[in-house]
Amino acid sequence: MHLLWQIGRRVILAGLVGTALCLTCLVPLLAVLAAEARPNLVLLLADDLGYGDLGCYGCPDIRTPHLDRLARQGVRLTQFYANGPECTPTRAALLSGRYPQRSGGLECAIGLGNVGRYDDAIRLAMQRELGLPVAHSVLARGLKAAGYQTAIVGKWHLGYEPQFAPRRHGFDRFFGPLGGAVDYFFHCEPGGQPMLYENEQPVKRDGYLTDLIADEACRFVRQARQPFFLYVPLTAPHSPYQGPRDRPDAPVTLEASNRGSRATYVAMVERLDEAIGRMLATLEETGAASSTLVLFASDNGGTTYSRNAPFSGQKGSTYEGGIRVPCLLRWPGELPAGTVSEEIGITMDLTASLLAAAGATPPDGIKLDGIDLIGALQRGETLPARTLYWRQRRGDRTWRGVRDGPWKLVSRADGSQRRDQLFNLASDPAEQHDLAAEQPQTLHRLLTLLARWEEEVRPAR
């Protein structure tokens, strides 16, 4: 479709030269052609979903027919990473298209009630500045400037203060929880603070949160003008562990929010899949599916009840199980259906890809750290070699990670104690064999790269 737009534009421009077509007639025609050619964009983000928790990624005990069908209709990535092992940094990277470290205070999930969890975040929280600055946000702002109608339906978790509200970041509409760990039935954080919002106002709705998000997303698709950008960051299967039939008599407490079972987790993921199935069906019903680029990913690896196989580690760590996530891409006529790709991607690449697919540019001349992953897949190109970095901080603990080709550095520091491990993912994707002692030169090289990166991404605030 994008190619057709380019061809059509050249034909019209040639006609202008040959026939002196009136400019006042040409401008509306080009505008209509461009609007029809640009794809709608739907970005679906799961919360704490393990790499191996979908049928199309080998899960034996969770039924995910709708996401499995999405994989068959598009591209399934096997080496895709979240920008952080927790949700807030990944969400910051998604909206900014850059490493979340550049924004300051967002290397850890914002604590319940707007609490900073490490020194930099604590400082910003005390200044009432803990969140993603609008000036750092490019995705919705860039698409809106390019003529897209924009909406976020789902979890925000990028700042509680009014100056960080989603609509300030370029979204025309917001519906969903403002913070994290929201009760699926009472829609409040542990402790009772109401979290469900419509635009800037708290609202009350009856129902299971996954279903409410799907309802609102489907409503937006039915009412939206094209082209549109719909960002759907679902809360499932993040704690509290509550399946659709597990309605309690009172809101869950903080102590009880992490209690659960694999069976409850399975029910939550299956309801997530059903919700996504309804959204995809709505695209079909409205005739928008054929002109819509759909993306699905998770914000980080899974936790206690998830399946991160074949990798080790989980959410909160920079082992593969904490940062490697499922990612599915469907763009009819533009991406080859039924493809499995081993290209290495990361969350902030989705930002660059969506802007490129829309013919949009980052506002304010911001330079992205991500690259146009989808464009490369569309053209059948191999992505350029690059080094990827991670850093997560909470209290006095810091996890770091570096991937350079097959080599992976995992570093954990607790106060003054630090352990650096080196793995070769080509031969050891589960990170079972630490090669730090056998490959000291490679370890030193990655540590040097890491130090340079940490200096380069120092936040300005």
Token pair of 59 as six digits: 């899960």
Task: Give CA–CA dist 48/230, Å, rounded.
Answer: 20
8 SS3 class: helix
Task: Give CA–CA dist 376/451, Å, rounded.
Answer: 30
Contact by Cβ (8 Å): 323, 344: no
The residues near 247 (Cβ < 8 Å, ≥ 6 apart) are: 185, 208
- Give me the active site residues, please: 87, 157
* 241 DSSP β-pair partners: none
Q: What proportions of the chain, in percent to the nearest 5, are helix, strand and coil?
A: 35, 20, 45
- On the question of a cis peptide bond just before residue 244, with omega within 30 degrees of 0, the verdict is no
| CA angle (391, 412, 327) in 5-degree steps | 50
DSSP 8-state class, residue 266: H
The residues near 73 (Cβ < 8 Å, ≥ 6 apart) are: 330, 332, 337, 338
Task: Give CA–CA dist 347/342, Å, rounded.
Answer: 15
Q: How many CA atoms lie within 13 A of 111 on its CB side?
A: 13
Residue 164: phi, psi to the nearest 5? -105, 10
Contact by Cβ (8 Å): 70, 313: no
Query: What residue ranges in 137-224 does DSSP mark as E strands?
Result: 149-153, 173-177, 196-198, 201-202
Among the listed residues 291, 330, 211, the one whose alpha carbon sits nearest the alpha carbon of residue 2: 291
DSSP-assigned letters across all residues of 419-459:
EEEEEETTT-TT--S--TTT-HHHHHHHHHHHHHHHHHT--
